[in-house]
Amino acid sequence: MSVNLKELSESLGLSQTTVSRGLNNYSDVSEATRKRIKDAAKRLNYRPNARAKGLATGKSRTIGHVIPSNTQHEMVNPIFGDFIAGASSVYARHGYNMLVSRVAQGSETEIYNDLISSGAVDGIVIQGPTEKDQRIEQLSSMGTPFAVHGRSSAITKPYPWVDVNNQRAFERATQLLISLGHRKIALLNGLEHLDFAVRRRNGFLKALGAQGIEADPDMLFSEEMTESYGYLRTKELLDRKDLPTAIVTSSLITALGVRRAIEDSGRRMGKDISVVTHDDMLSYLPNGGAEPVFTATRSAVSEAGERLAEMLIAEINGDEDQPSEVLLEAELVIGRSTGASET
Partner DNA sequence: AGTGTTTTCCAAAGCGCTTTGGATGCCCAG
Partner DNA sequence: CTGGGCATCCAAAGCGCTTTGGAAAACACT
Residues lying near a copy of itself in the complex (CB under 8 A) are found at 1-2, 45, 47-52, 54-55, 60, 62, 65, 67, 69, 73-78, 80-82, 84-85, 88-89, 91-92, 97-103, 113-114, 117-120, 142, 224-228, 253, 256, 259-260, 263, 282-286, 293, 302
User: Choosing among DNA, a copy of itself, none, which partner's interface includes residue 179 (Cβ < 5 to 8 Å by kind)?
Assistant: none
Residue 71 in the binding site for DNA (CB under 7 A): no
Give the shortest CB-38-to-DNA separation in angstroms. 13
Q: CA 165, 169, 173: angle at the middle one, nearest 5?
A: 175
Partner whose binding site includes residue 28, from DNA, a copy of itself, none (CB under 5 to 8 Å by kind)? DNA
CA dist 38 and 34 (Å) reads 6
Least Å from the CB of residue 214 to a copy of itself: 32
Kindly tell me which of 139 and 208 has the beta carbon lying closer to a copy of itself. Answer: 139
d(CA 336, CA 343): 19
Count of residues in the chain: 343
DSSP of 83-97, one letter per residue? Answer: HHHHHHHHHHHHT-E
Listed in order, strand segments (DSSP E) in 180-324 are: 185-189, 220-222, 246-249, 274-279, 295-298
Rounded least distance, CB 125 to a copy of itself, Å: 12
Ordered DSSP codes for 229-266: HHHHHHHHHHTSSS--SEEEES-HHHHHHHHHHHHHTT
Which secondary-structure segment (H or E) carries 328?
A: strand 325-328
* CB of 4 vs DNA, minimal distance in Å: 3
How far apart (Å, rounded) are the C-alpha atoms in residues 318 and 134? 24
By a kind-dependent CB cut-off of 5 to 8 A, residue 136 interacts, out of DNA, a copy of itself, none, with none
Residue 73 near which of DNA, a copy of itself, none (CB within 5-8 Å, type-dependent): a copy of itself
Q: Rank residues 73 and 132 by Cβ distance to a copy of itself and give the closer one.
A: 73
Q: In this structure, what DSSP letter does residue 58 have?
A: S
Residue 49 binding DNA, by CB under 7 A: yes
CA–CA gap between residue 286 and residue 266 (Å, rounded): 25
* 35 binding DNA? (CB under 7 A): no
Closest CB to a copy of itself among residues 75, 243: 75
Q: Which residues pair with 187 in a beta bridge?
A: 220, 248
| 3-class secondary structure, 168 | helix
Interface with DNA, residue 115, by CB under 7 A: no
* Binding partner at 263 among DNA, a copy of itself, none, C-beta below 5 to 8 Å by kind: a copy of itself
Least Cβ distance, residue 18 to DNA (angstroms): 3
Contacted entry of a copy of itself, DNA, none for residue 112, CB cut-off 5 to 8 Å set by kind: none
Residue 260 phi/psi, 5° resolution? -60, -45
Residue 20 or 250 having the CB closest to DNA: 20
Q: Which residues within the stretch 4-23 sit at the binding site for DNA (CB under 7 A)?
A: 4-6, 13-18, 20-21, 23
- Report the candidate in 215, 276, 213, 266 with the shortest Cα–Cα distance to residue 238: 266
CB-CB contact of 294 with 276 (8 Å): yes
Q: Which residues bind DNA (CB under 7 A)?
A: 4-6, 13-18, 20-21, 23-24, 28-33, 46-49, 52-53, 55-58
